[in-house]
Structures are given as structure tokens and as C-alpha cells.
Amino acid sequence: MRFNQLGRSGLIVSELCLGTMTFGGQEGMWGRIGQLQQEEADGLVKAALDAGINFFDTANVYSEGRSETILGQSLKNLGVRREEVVIATKVLGRMHEGPNGAGASRGHILDQVRASLDRLQLDHIDLYQIHGFDETTPIEETLYALDSLVRRGVVRYIGLSNWAAWQVMKAVGIAAARGYAPIASLQAYYTIAGRDLERDVVPMLKSEGVGLMVWSPLAGGFLSGKYTREGEGEGRRAGFDFPPVDKERGYDVVDVLRELSAAKGQSVAQLALGWLLHQPAVSSVIVGAKRADQLADNLGAVDVSFTAEELARLDAVSKLPAEYPGWMIERQGGYRGGPSARR
């Protein structure tokens, strides 16, 4: 297991992060994603720790708070020293009825951070993330609330999730101008079968020194190796077809991954995760599992290596179609002999 700096912050995190969205589900959407209860979750957390993972991600909305409760109890049950782990959680989604029961307002953030701390049985959260963009609340209000939590010591670092490039950039600028705690990370969807992030978000993250945490790196199971043109195997996508995937291009990617899998003796999932670990913008890849064998397979991604030719082949089959203004920026980038001209 390797460790990376999270953006420009001083926080060091494992290249794989254990996601806990599969913890605590009972009915409805959360039940389809995962129904792991305490004993099963303890086993996955222990396996992750034994593999060198120090980074754990959850959210207040996962299973209506039960995911946080189970993760916090697992750390207690396993006798984990607080300073040895990095705990990330999120706020935005609806936690109670009424107009103020969701969002990124100061009131909702301050209410929910207390609730998350109680469920996690912690005195501070290492990385507190806004789970999506709240069109109602001014970004200034959200950042002021987060900064107050950092100053109080109940939150160490702040992050965002599922924000557009311009939204992140606006938050980065406001935080810098007002002396607020900086944005350490963005949690976003990114896979070899869905490289949309590379159009605007990845260049912005590199420019501003914001770390990238990847969610659903196997595209909701699409890159698990069970899905081919010939037929789709059983799995989460059968009842919860998310996130969206351009399946024709995705199957082209899977074809190459399956061929490389046979040649390298590593699973399709390991290769898909390994590709992400080779992307310079990525700080940590969030892996989740319903079973110990799934997690064990995912953990093997840290041993994946690619030749230059293999990476070029994967890039060619998964490359995004050209889109304006990207193709114009690339065309004009060579006028002064800049980076675009030297590629």
C-alpha cells in the first residue's frame, strides 16, 4: 500500500480508501447497495487495516446514519488508535423533514456535524465533505460554516463532492480571499469507462492543488468482469443501474481489460482499479465491498503495473470524443511552444 498527500494539505492517505456505503442497509435503495451489519463490517474494516489502508469514507445519509454508526463501532471493536486512521464523512442529503432538513446551510452543517460525531463516536472528523452542490445556499455561507468547524477543531480538513469545475474553482477562490480553511479534496466519479472528469475537473484540480478521491471506480460493478456484450451477470447494477455508462464504449474497454486480465493473471476489477492508481490526479480510490473476497480482490489492485504500450492501448480504447473548447485549446496550445506543443 502506497500513501499520497491529499492535495496540497499535509494529510497523508492510503491510495485505497474503504468506502462504507454497503454498511447498514435494510430496505429500498440502501438495501440494494449493501446490508452489512456490525460483525460483517468489522471483518471488512479489519481486512482493510491489515492491508495497510488508513482511510475510511462514509456519509450521514448512507443507510440513514447507520453506516456511520457501524463504522464508528468497528473502530472501537477493533481497538483502533484514533491517530492511526483518517475518517471522512459527508453532509448535504436529507436527514429530517422540513425545509432545513438538507443542504449546505450553516444551520444544517452545524446540526449534522454533531450528529455524525455522535454516531462515529469521535471527537473530530478528519475530512468533512459537502456531498453535492446546494443551489440555495451561498458558497460563502457554506465555507464560513466549515471554517468555523476547523477553527474549533471538530473538523481537520474540508472537501467537496460532485461539484462542477467552476463551482470548485469559485470555492477555492473565496476560501483564499477570505482566509478560510482551503479545499483539500474533491470526491468524484471517475473510471476508465467514464473519463468525463478529464475535460475540465482534472485540469482544474491539478492547477489548484486539490486532491481527488474517486467514488464508484468500477462503475457500479460494470468493470467487475461480470458484464460483457454476451450477457450481464448478477450484481448491483441488475437492480440499481448506476452510475450511467456509455455501454458500447464501455464494452470496448472491458474487451481489452479481459484480454489483459488473461495475459497478466490479474482480475478485470484489479486492472480497472490499477488504471486509476496510475492517473496522476488521483489521491485515493474508494473501494467498497459486500463480501470479504470482493475486498481481497480489490486490494490486489495495488500490485498492478502496466507497460507503456498497455497504458497507451487502454487510453486509446477509453478516450473521450473530442469536444469544444478542448480541441481548440489543444490546437492553439502550440503557438508559443507550451506544454501542448511538447506532447
User: Rounded to the nearest 5°, which phi and psi values hold at 127?
Assistant: -135, 115
Residues contacting residue 23 through CB under 8 Å, at least 6 positions apart: 34, 36, 41, 58, 62, 63, 66, 67, 70, 71
Q: What gap in Å lies between CA 316 and CA 253, rounded to an integer?
A: 9
Q: Taking the CB of residue 327, how many other CB atoms lie within 10 A of it?
A: 11
C-beta of residue 153 within 8 angstroms of C-beta of residue 122: no
The C-alpha atoms of residue 103 and residue 107 are separated, in whole angstroms, by 9
What 3-state class would DSSP assign to 34? coil
User: In terms of DSSP H, where are the helices of 278-334?
Assistant: 292-299, 308-318, 326-332
Cβ atoms within 10 Å, residue 330: 13
DSSP, res 171: H
Q: Does the N-terminal peptide bond of residue 243 adopt cis geometry, omega within 30 degrees of 0? A: yes
User: What is the CA angle 7-253-248, rounded to 5?
Assistant: 115
Give, for 206, the enclosing helix (H) or strand (E).
helix 201-208
Catalytically annotated residue among 62, 180, 189, 227:
62
Across the chain, the runs of DSSP E, i.e. the strands, are: 3-5, 12-14, 16-19, 55-57, 86-91, 125-130, 155-161, 183-189, 211-215, 227-228, 231-232, 282-287
Of 223, 201, 219, which is closest to residue 210 (Cα–Cα)? 201
Burial of 89: CB neighbours in 10 Å, binned 0-12, 13-18, 19+: buried
pTM to 2 decimals?
0.94
The per-residue pLDDT string of the chain (343 residues; one tens digit each, 9 = 90 and over) reads 999 999 999 999 999 999 999 999 888 888 888 899 999 999 999 999 999 999 999 999 999 999 999 999 999 999 999 999 999 999 999 999 999 999 999 999 999 999 999 999 999 999 999 999 999 999 999 999 999 999 999 999 999 999 999 999 999 999 999 999 999 999 999 999 999 999 999 999 999 999 999 999 999 999 998 888 887 666 666 666 789 899 889 999 999 999 999 999 999 999 999 999 999 999 999 999 999 999 999 999 999 999 999 999 999 999 999 999 999 988 888 777 666 555 5
Q: Is 62 a catalytic residue?
A: yes
Q: Report whether 136 contacts 103 (CB < 8 A).
A: yes
Q: Is 27 exposed, middle or buried (0-12, 13-18, 19+ CB in 10 A)?
A: exposed
H or E segment to which residue 264 belongs:
helix 247-264
* Confidence (pLDDT) at 232: 66
